[in-house]
Structure 1
Amino acid sequence: MTADARRTTAHATGRPGDESPFALGLLLRRAHWRAAAVMTEALRPLGVELRHFAVLIVLMDRGPTVQRDLAAETGSDKAGIMRVVDDLERKGLAVRKSVPGDRRARAVEITPRGRELFEAAHVAAEPLAERLAAGLGAGDRERLTELLTRIAYPADDEM
């Protein structure tokens, strides 16, 4: 690379106006941090953390799920998912059950109390989610959701 090319190449700063190849990822990371902080604030009064809620989301969506699949779906490791499921069991929000035909596998299932908490979390999160999106104009929230969906779930699934 020539000295002229180095001078004209944008470097990652993570600040507004960053034109580097890292800019989109850095903005997504910062937006994630803000969204996670809002969701954490909504979940705190309910006595759960975002990592717990992530498992409840999977259980509500997929039904009873083996721990290895929970780990994959939530981006956790085996030990981490075991701690989260232990916490959920202690709180009465989920239970482990044997998987027919597989002595070693255990499926995790959400309890009625877990379903109630899941619904309560959505109610608690609504005003905070509105605050998170307060700086967006008419139609911006829907457009942002559409664009992020296309990034997160690419049609050709290259990743």
Structure 2
Amino acid sequence: MSADVPQTTASRATDRPGDTSPFALGLLLRRAHWRAAAVMAEALRPLDIELRHFAVLIVLVDGGSVVQRDLAAATGSDKAGVMRVVDDLERKGLAVRKAVPGDRRVRAVEITPQGIELFDAAHAAAVPLAERLVAELGPGEPEQLTDLLTRFAYPAGGEA
């Protein structure tokens, strides 16, 4: 059976600078995500919310009243996870569930004025931390990085 396995001299996949393996970009993006998530979690900690809560608040600020199943899709979470987050946000007075006219089974979620206030406070708290996150980049590079990542995450053809 070992004769069927092709032998290769390819390097092992890492996220180290200069790695040319086909997995290097994905691993590097994962490491960048971990670093950015840690910095943003630091900004949110004093506000007593987590990134998963903030992800839902972003969708609510952007979309207004959002059906729970759409929140799951928009945040990349499963339905049960979104339900727990919405439960947390309701307990904190940051969001409310409301009935959807014409369908008793469906609930929409809306951000409260207190939720908007917290959303704004989170942005204010994140500014110095976000600046620290890109401190190693040169003039114009933070904007260039944002542009490249945006095009990477949202390709023109719409494929995932």
Q: TM-score range by the shorter chain?
A: over 0.9
**Alpha-carbon deviation of 1:14?**
1.9
Residue 136 (structure 1) aligns with: 137
Residue 49 of structure 2 aligns to which amino acid in structure 1? V
Residue 13 (structure 2) aligns with: 12
Query: Contact (CA 8 Å) 1:95, 1:108: kept in 2 or not?
Result: yes
Residue 70 of structure 2 aligns to which amino acid in structure 1? D
TM-score, structure 1 as length reference: 0.95
Question: How far apart, CA to CA, are the structure 2 residues paired with 1:111 and 1:51?
Answer: 17
Map 1:49-68 onto structure 2 (within 5 A): 49-68=50-69
Question: How far apart, CA to CA, are the structure 2 residues paired with 1:16 and 1:89?
Answer: 44
Map 1:23-34 onto structure 2 (within 5 A): 23-34=24-35
Percent identity, please.
76
Q: Secondary structure at the match of 2:121?
A: helix
Question: How far apart, CA to CA, are the structure 1 residues paired with 2:6 and 2:109?
Answer: 57
Question: How far apart, CA to CA, are the structure 1 residues paired with 2:71 and 2:85?
Answer: 10
CA RMSD of aligned residues (A): 1.1
**Alpha-carbon deviation of 1:158?**
2.1
**Alpha-carbon deviation of 1:2?**
6.3
Residue 41 of structure 1 aligns to which amino acid in structure 2? E
Query: Contact (CA 8 Å) 1:11, 1:19: kept in 2 or not?
Result: no
* Residue segments in structure 1 that go unaligned for 5+ positions in a row: none
**Alpha-carbon deviation of 1:78?**
1.1
Q: How many residues align?
A: 156
Map 1:1-159 onto structure 2 (within 5 A): 3=7, 6-7=8-9, 9-159=10-160
Question: How far apart, CA to CA, are the structure 2 residues paired with 1:26 and 1:135?
Answer: 20
Query: Contact (CA 8 Å) 1:92, 1:114: kept in 2 or not?
Result: yes
Q: Deviations over 1:107-137 (max 9, x none)?
A: 0000000000000000000000000000000
Q: Secondary structure at the match of 1:27?
A: helix
- Check 1:98–1:2 CA distance in 2 against 1; reply closer, same or farther (3 A cut): closer
Residue 21 of structure 1 aligns to which amino acid in structure 2? P
Question: How far apart, CA to CA, are the structure 1 residues paired with 2:159 and 2:105?
Answer: 34
Question: How far apart, CA to CA, are the structure 2 residues paired with 1:109 and 1:146?
Answer: 30
Query: Contact (CA 8 Å) 1:46, 1:121: kept in 2 or not?
Result: yes
Q: Deviations over 1:29-82 (max 9, x none)?
A: 000000000000000000100000000000000001011000111111111111
